[in-house]
Amino acid sequence: MEKILDVISKQVMEALKACGYDEKYGKVTLSNRPDLCEYQCNGAMAAAKEYKCAPFQIADRVAEQLQGNEMFESAESVKPGFLNLKVSPEYLAEYLRQMEADEQRLGCSKCEHPKTILIDYGGPNVAKPLHVGHLRSAIIGESVKRIGRFMGHNMIGDVHLGDWGLQMGLIITELKARKPELVYFDENYTGEYPEEPPFTISELEEIYPAASGKSKEDEAYKEAAMEATYELQHGRAGYGALLNHILNVSVSDLKRNYENLNVSFELWKGESDAQPYIPDMVEKMKKDGYAYISEGALVVDVKEDTDTKEIPPCMILKSDGASLYNTTDLATIVWRMQDYRPDEIIYVVDKRQELYFTQVFRCARKTGLVGPETELTFLGFGTMNGKDGKPFKTREGGVMRLEYLVSGINEEMYKKIADNHTVEEAEGRETAKTVALSAIKYGDLSNQASKDYIFDIERFTSFEGNTGPYILYTIVRMKSILKKYQELRELPEHAAILPPHSDSEKSLMLELGKFNGMMENAFEEKAPHKVCAYIYDLANAFNHFYHETKIMAEPDEMIQAGYIKLLELTKKALEICIDVLGFEAPERM
Ligand code: ARG
């Protein structure tokens, strides 16, 4: 469905043309003086230069031309040369009826040329618990993926596990110290390895920090871990079997955690999956003359003449021949291109890795791993800080585990809900979980991703203000009005959204009319915060309308039915939006 702004622009363009002016001056925007008008066109200001006259002379003629146009309630020329527009109530109602007829998409057309977009987000590290740093990547990535999917793109999420580094060697070393008798450590063993893992997730989670602590104090221990990493990476069978156990145990735990966040991935690939692609990739980079030895290491220059700051070379292999984080990311691009031919790869990663990704992207382009038809996008996010403005920590000052953070907020939310009403414990807990997730996600997503933000639990969990719970509360209110209405009567057969009866109703309708344009723009800019801003405005417009309108006491059956239809449309728009943000609304709260 055409965007309302485009429909209006077309009318203004035609009017310009009819007056003998170039139609290119007819672009209409939302009004920045909502007290005066709903839409405006400032084209006469620019056109005046071309036609060597005063802007208002043009605006006057166009306004004149638009008189009687059914789409407008008013079209006024205002000095020095603005065109102020109000859309006609009938047209607005008709537009909303068309939205409503398109039940699933509310008039937001799918893109004409669907792209295959791979989105790299989450990025958890195997055997290390998820911490809040991983939360943002998961929340933002999931939302961008859903927005893209809603727009009709083929979005493929890849979790890109950190499963290939010293942490693996550390775990193996610690396990060996604890259970040296395990068959995985017997170099002469040639049989099958057991299917049962030799540890549980809680043991595994305890093993890693223990090993990491020891390696910082004990040089020999660290050597052993590095040696184990090397052996693992060079095909030692027992260690490979252990890696699989570590992966399996860790991945099922990660899946459970992500499920609680309403986050899921199409691909569960990891850094280790990229390793087989490294040798050929490196060979080719050398053969093509891109990679050369500098101070013992193999590097590719990636600086460009236009750089204003120093961009160091991209290191491909260390002097001992070991590969690095870079090498893995480059080799990951190799299989992503080979298996998926994506039009774009988006990386949702902490913005402190921006320089690193600049190097990786440039290197990938220069060496031909990706062609010009594939876009590489870095979607860097800022730090989530505590109320003290410093990176989020536990009360004791340690790294906050995601699980604890989430269960803490769930608990807080449950108390609030139980304080408010009498609910069954089980229902209350379920509702608390749903509302808490909206608090966390909305609190994050309503900020522009690249900015740091303060994780303020009290503010995020409030039922008032610009918060997730406020949005859910609004939806729940709508659900309860609908229920009440349905208990009293059925919607009459010819029920339809009617032209607005009040300013607050018109404002709500105008907000609804922005839905398709907003979604398109949120995808273009990969900006979930635009969806948040929209639903906040929409929820406010609805609540304003609700407070000024006696919906249930309306005596005219058709007017009342029109209100209900409008309410249903608003509810649907809100529900689509929270779905792309990655949360949902409970039945009551
Ligand atoms: N595992 C990394 C971390 O915890 C994030 C991975 C980001 N994605 C990537 N392709 N490098 O910092």
Question: What's the CATH code of the domain at 356?
Answer: 3.40.50.620
Question: What is the atom index within ligand 1 of the atom nearest the CA of 162?
Answer: 1
The residue from 229, 260, 291 where one domain ends is: 260
Does 421 have pLDDT greater than 90?
no
Q: Running DSSP on this structure, what letter comes out for residue 393?
A: B
Q: How far is the CA of 553 from the centre of ligand 1 (A)?
A: 57
Question: What is the atom index within ligand 1 of the atom nearest the CA of 357?
Answer: 11
User: Which of 134, 166, 349, 399 is the best mutation target for the ligand 1 pocket, counting ligand atoms within 8 Å of the beta carbon and taking the most?
Assistant: 349
Local confidence band at 390 (pLDDT 50, 70, 90 cut-offs): confident
**In the structure, which protein residues have their CB atom closer than 6 angstroms to any atom of ligand 1?**
120, 123, 125, 160, 162, 329, 347, 349
Q: Would 229 be classed as within a structural domain? A: yes
Q: What is the mean pLDDT of residues 314-328?
A: 91
The residue from 87, 113, 131 where one domain ends is: 87
The reply to whether 146 and 80 lie within a common domain is: no
The reply to whether 157 and 272 lie within a common domain is: yes
Question: What is the atom index within ligand 1 of the atom nearest the CA of 134?
Answer: 4
Q: How far is the CA of 458 from the centre of ligand 1 (A)?
A: 30
User: Which of 119, 125, 333 is the best mutation target for the ligand 1 pocket, counting ligand atoms within 8 Å of the beta carbon and taking the most?
Assistant: 125
Crossing angle for the helix pair 503-513 and 89-101, to the nearest 10 degrees: 50
Does 487 have pLDDT greater than 80?
yes
The reply to whether 147 and 284 lie within a common domain is: yes
Q: How far is the CA of 349 from the centre of ligand 1 (A)?
A: 7
Dihedrals φ, ψ of 234, to 5°?
-110, 25
Query: Is-contact 331 360, C-beta < 8 A?
Result: no
Q: How far is the CA of 501 from the centre of ligand 1 (A)?
A: 54
Alpha helices in 218-353 (DSSP H): 219-233, 237-260, 271-274, 278-287, 325-340
Q: Would 39 be classed as within a structural domain? A: yes
Least confident among 79-83, 101-105, 453-457, 469-473: 453-457
Q: Would 343 be classed as within a structural domain? A: yes
CA-proximal residue: ligand 1, atom 3 (nearest): 123
Q: How far is the CA of 162 from the centre of ligand 1 (A)?
A: 7
Does 161 have pLDDT greater than 80?
yes
Q: How far is the CA of 123 from the centre of ligand 1 (A)?
A: 5
The domain of 71 spans 4-87
Dihedrals φ, ψ of 314, to 5°?
-90, 120
Q: How far is the CA of 473 from the centre of ligand 1 (A)?
A: 36
Which has the closest alpha carbon to 350: 377, 386, 381, 376? 381
The residue from 241, 260, 279 where one domain ends is: 260
Least confident among 85-99, 103-117, 407-421, 480-494: 407-421
The reply to whether 237 and 319 lie within a common domain is: no
Q: What pLDDT was estimated at residue 404? A: 86
Question: What is the atom index within ligand 1 of the atom nearest the CA of 350?
Answer: 12
Q: How far is the CA of 120 from the centre of ligand 1 (A)?
A: 9
Q: How far is the CA of 344 from the centre of ligand 1 (A)?
A: 18
Q: How far is the CA of 270 from the centre of ligand 1 (A)?
A: 10
Q: How far is the CA of 557 from the centre of ligand 1 (A)?
A: 58
The predicted-structure confidence for 132-145, as pLDDT tens digits, reads as follows 879 999 999 999 99
Q: How far is the CA of 386 from the centre of ligand 1 (A)?
A: 22
Q: Would 310 be classed as within a structural domain? A: yes
Quote the CA–CA distance of 344 and 359 in Å, as a whole number: 17
Q: What is the mean pLDDT of residues 50-57?
A: 94
Question: What is the atom index within ligand 1 of the atom nearest the CA of 161?
Answer: 1
Q: What pLDDT was estimated at residue 444? A: 96
User: Which of 120, 271, 359 is the best mutation target for the ligand 1 pocket, counting ligand atoms within 8 Å of the beta carbon and taking the most?
Assistant: 120
CA-proximal residue: ligand 1, atom 2 (nearest): 123
Does 397 have pLDDT greater than 70?
no
Give me the torsion for CA of 223, 227, 229, 231, rounded to 10°: 180
Question: What is the atom index within ligand 1 of the atom nearest the CA of 349?
Answer: 7
* Mean confidence (pLDDT) of the chain: 94
Q: How far is the CA of 576 from the centre of ligand 1 (A)?
A: 30
The reply to whether 334 and 308 lie within a common domain is: yes
The reply to whether 255 and 274 lie within a common domain is: no
Does 582 have pLDDT greater than 80?
yes
The reply to whether 246 and 272 lie within a common domain is: no
The reply to whether 189 and 316 lie within a common domain is: no
**Three-point CA angle 199, 202, 204, nearest 5°:** 50
Q: Would 250 be classed as within a structural domain? A: yes
Identify the three-state secondary structure at position 500: coil
Q: What pLDDT was estimated at residue 29? A: 96
User: Which of 126, 353, 376, 379 is the best mutation target for the ligand 1 pocket, counting ligand atoms within 8 Å of the beta carbon and taking the most?
Assistant: 353
The reply to whether 220 and 288 lie within a common domain is: no
The predicted-structure confidence for 343-384, as pLDDT tens digits, reads as follows 999 999 999 999 999 999 999 999 999 999 999 999 999 999
Identify the three-state secondary structure at position 467: coil
Does 392 have pLDDT greater than 90?
no
User: Which of 160, 359, 383 is the best mutation target for the ligand 1 pocket, counting ligand atoms within 8 Å of the beta carbon and taking the most?
Assistant: 160
Q: Would 28 be classed as within a structural domain? A: yes
Quote the CA–CA distance of 287 and 273 in Å, as a whole number: 24
Q: What is the mean pLDDT of residues 293-313?
A: 96
CA-proximal residue: ligand 1, atom 5 (nearest): 123
CA-proximal residue: ligand 1, atom 8 (nearest): 123
Q: Would 426 be classed as within a structural domain? A: no
Q: How far is the CA of 221 from the centre of ligand 1 (A)?
A: 26
Structure tokens at 158: 């890849």
The reply to whether 135 and 197 lie within a common domain is: no
CA-proximal residue: ligand 1, atom 10 (nearest): 329
CA-proximal residue: ligand 1, atom 11 (nearest): 329
In sequence order, which residues have a C-beta less than 8 Å from that of residue 146 and are 6 or more positions away?
A: 155, 579, 580, 581, 582
CA-proximal residue: ligand 1, atom 6 (nearest): 123
Quote the CA–CA distance of 384 and 133 in Å, as a whole number: 7
Q: What is the mean pLDDT of residues 284-313?
A: 96
Does 398 have pLDDT greater than 80?
no
- The DSSP H or E segment spanning 375 is strand 375-381
Q: How far is the CA of 160 from the centre of ligand 1 (A)?
A: 7
- Which residues share a beta bridge with 399? 393
Query: Is-contact 117 155, C-beta < 8 A?
Result: yes
Q: Would 275 be classed as within a structural domain? A: yes
Question: What is the atom index within ligand 1 of the atom nearest the CA of 329?
Answer: 10
Type of residue found at 551: I
The reply to whether 354 and 318 lie within a common domain is: yes
Q: What is the mean pLDDT of residues 510-520?
A: 98
Q: How far is the CA of 433 from the centre of ligand 1 (A)?
A: 28
Q: What is the mean pLDDT of residues 326-338?
A: 97
Does 339 have pLDDT greater than 80?
yes
CA-proximal residue: ligand 1, atom 7 (nearest): 123
Sheet of strand 28-30: strand arrangement: 28-30, 39-41, 82-87, 72-78
Q: What pLDDT was estimated at residue 502? A: 97
Structure tokens at 215: 């390696």
Q: How far is the CA of 159 from the centre of ligand 1 (A)?
A: 9
Q: Based on the structure, what is the number of domains in the chain?
A: 3
The reply to whether 54 and 202 lie within a common domain is: no
Q: What is the mean pLDDT of residues 442-468?
A: 94
Q: What is the mean pLDDT of residues 303-312?
A: 95
* CATH code: domain of residue 14: 3.30.1360.70
Type of residue found at 86: K
Local confidence band at 100 (pLDDT 50, 70, 90 cut-offs): very high
Does 212 have pLDDT greater than 70?
yes
Question: What is the atom index within ligand 1 of the atom nearest the CA of 133?
Answer: 4
